[in-house]
Amino acid sequence: MVFTRFVEVGRVVLINYGPDSGKLATIIDIVDQNKCLVDGPSTGVARQVISFTRIALTDLTVKIQRNAREKTLNKAWEEADTLNKWESSSWAKKLSAKKKRASLSDFDRFKVMVARKQKSEILSKKMAELEA
Amino acid sequence: FQAVRKMPKVDARQRFYPADHEPAREKGPKPAPAKLRASITPGTVLILLSGRFRGKRVVFLQQLPSGLLLVTGPFAVNGVPLRRVNQTNVIATSKKLDVSRVRVPAEAATDAFYREPAKDKKQRLKAANRGEGVFFATDDISADKPDVPESRKAAQKAVDEAILAGVDDITKAYLRARFSLRSGQYPHEMKF
């Protein structure tokens, strides 16, 4: 089993816990075995030391040098098209689906229920056709 | 220790003389009608939480002078008539219907319109307490039920027609369906 996601300068991470939870940031520098310096100027994360237990590594990296400045970091993000790559990943899609589901109103939930029933009806009709 | 005891004014010919002087208690000020929650505005769809129609989604019309909410099913859609409901037994959803064209008849906007007359209440309790003899009852129990007065039917018709005028099918189906919780649904985490 080979590891592919490493803690390294330039690794894009998702913050899981704390006031910035749900936001993306990049590892700028590594403090010690438990903490790293993280920054996400385009996603609203201030430059800060954060524990590894509060972040999740993603597949994405950005080409920067250690302790890159915010301007350089932003440029590197744009060049790598990081935000779009993230939004098109299934991880990000699942997160946004969960958020949407939690924000549905009572009427929305009713419409979803009706839509699921209609979809199920279409599927079962088709299955009956194929089995016949 | 009271130096001078004020005796209550009694008629010498009374059969009963109170032993202690209890001063007549003043009636306190009448409490103001309950403040309407900000989420409840005319046309809001409410979910009833208690009573005969619990789980039903109804349309809020206005707050009556007593503080209770006047709601309607509409009757043709889910069987809930023009009715009073306490806002403590209600969840306000974010769905709002257009009730600007609805004009509730003046008499139907009072509490007295919805109060059960004493005679009818007596009949209703009599029918409910009939329990033991139900199997052997030879007379028709439904005959004891009082008829819905014409004024109520007319008010219901007027209000419901105005509400259902611009309502689409999915909203009608929504009002027809009853609210229920499924596994994994927690009301304190749900948005209404």
The mean pLDDT of chain B is 84
Question: With an 8 Å Cβ cutoff, is A117 touching chain B?
Answer: no
Tell me if chain A has a CB within 8 Å of the CB of B49: no
**What pLDDT is attached to residue B125?**
77
Q: Could you give the ipTM of this predicted complex?
A: 0.74
Whole-angstrom distance, CA of residue A88 vs CA of residue A59: 12
Q: Are residues A107 and B93, on separate chains, in Cβ contact within 8 Å?
A: yes
> Per residue in A76-99, pLDDT tens?
999 999 999 999 999 999 999 999
Of B17-21, B60-64, B110-114, B131-135, where does mean pLDDT reach its minimum? Answer: B131-135
DSSP state letter for B56: B
Which residue is listed with tokens 């030879």? Answer: B138
Using the beta-carbon criterion (under 8 Å), do B94 and A106 form an inter-chain contact? Answer: yes
pLDDT tens digits for range B79-114: 999 999 999 999 999 999 999 888 888 888 888 888
Write the burial class of residue B72 (CB in 10 Å: 0-12 exposed, 13-18 middle, 19+ buried): buried
**Do the beta carbons of residue A107 and residue B174 sit within 8 Å?**
yes
**What does DSSP say about strands A45-51 and A55-61: parallel, antiparallel, or unpaired?**
unpaired
- Give the CA dihedral B134, B140, B143, B144, nearest 10 degrees: -20
Q: What integer is the mean pLDDT of B133-158?
A: 68
Query: Which phi-psi region, left, alpha or beta, contains residue B124 (left: φ > 0; alpha: ψ -120 to 50)?
Result: alpha
- Which helix (H) or strand (E) segment holds residue B151: the answer is helix B150-164
CB contact under 8 A, A102 and B189: yes
- Pick from B90, B86, B82, B87: which is nearest to B110 by CA? B82
